Amino acid sequence: MNHKFDKTVLMVFSLSAAGEYERKPFTGFGNTAASVELINQCIKHTQYIAEASDLDVLWFDEHKQFGNSFGERYANAVQSCFHQGYKNVISIGNDSPSLTVDFIQLAAEQLTKNNIVLGPAEDGGIYLLGISQADFDYESFSKLPWQTDSLFARISSEISSKFTYCLETLIDLDDYETALRYAFQCPKTRVGRLILATYCFIFEHRKISYTPPLFLQRIKPSILSFRGPPVTSSR
């Protein structure tokens, strides 16, 4: 571990593969196996970048989370990290396949200079939150509009200070449309290839009733250059 960041922990706050599928099964694909494989690929990607981050890592899935609301469960997890002696917490989830080790290390570096580090998501939420113990207030933190498109704006106005650093905006995979947006932006990644292979199969074979999202209705899958089986690694 890098001793410069020995008081910083990377907290993965997410659900297991089964829990993720129940919450967002990517039903636009109409294929349980494809949805589960996509979720597993995202989890593997998160495991890879967490292990390579050079930080201590704490995982909080549904079996370790407690509280009556998402906000309470999230606040309890962050508070637990501080109770274990860490001074800074960097929190991520499983649904940002564009997140890299460089982003996490940059967040850790910026937390030595700033009180808050935010990774804004395209949908108005966040994919990363770095916060110091001095800036953490349980009550206000737990009552933020988590899982809404106003989250980034609210955090920016309510708990951010002049010592706030914002990372690049990325896509969170919340449904099949955002999954396809990511795939068409990053078609050469493992997760992107898996999504596009699934999309091509559904579109061409018409195994289910399927209407592409508006931004893809004018794109023909035949223009895609690959036709391989789903990959087994997100790296």
Q: What is the CATH number of the domain that holds 34?
A: 3.90.550.10
Based on the fold, state whether residues 93 and 195 are members of the same structural domain.
no
Q: What is the pLDDT of residue 93?
A: 94
Based on the fold, state whether residues 149 and 198 are members of the same structural domain.
no
Measured between alpha carbons, how far is 128 from 107 in angstroms, rounded to an integer? Answer: 9
Instruction: Quote the domain boundaries for residue 197.
Output: 176-223
Q: What is the DSSP string of 170-186?
A: B----SHHHHHHHHHHS
Which residues, other chains included, contact 170 with Cβ-Cβ below 8 Å and sequence gap of 6+? Answer: 96, 98, 99, 119, 120, 121, 122, 127
Q: What is the pLDDT of residue 105?
A: 96
The ranges of the chain with pLDDT < 70 are 1-5, 27-30, 160-162, 201-235
Q: What is the pLDDT of residue 108?
A: 96
Do 119 and 170 meet the contact criterion of CB atoms below 8 Å apart? Answer: yes
The amino acid at 77: A
Beta sheet of 56-60, edge-to-edge order = 56-60, 8-13, 88-92, 126-132, 116-120, 164-166
Based on the fold, state whether residues 94 and 155 are members of the same structural domain.
yes
Q: How many domains does the chain have?
A: 2
Q: What angle do CA 174, 71, 112 make, to 5 degrees?
A: 90
Q: Could you read off the pLDDT of 43-59 as tens digits, one per residue? A: 999 999 999 999 999 99
Based on the fold, state whether residues 181 and 112 are members of the same structural domain.
no
Do 152 and 124 meet the contact criterion of CB atoms below 8 Å apart? Answer: yes
Length of the chain: 235
Domain presence at residue 231: no
Minimal CA–CA distance to 194: which of 233, 235, 231?
231
Do 54 and 2 meet the contact criterion of CB atoms below 8 Å apart? Answer: yes
For helices 190-205 and 176-185, what crossing angle results, to 10°? 120
Do 93 and 139 meet the contact criterion of CB atoms below 8 Å apart? Answer: no
Based on the fold, state whether residues 113 and 39 are members of the same structural domain.
yes
Q: Is 91 helix (H, G, I), strand (E, B) or coil?
A: strand
Q: Is 199 helix (H, G, I), strand (E, B) or coil?
A: helix
122, 145, 166 - which closes a domain: 166
Residue appearing with tokens 């953490």: 136
Domain presence at residue 199: yes
Based on the fold, state whether residues 43 and 91 are members of the same structural domain.
yes
Minimal CA–CA distance to 127: which of 161, 167, 162, 89?
167
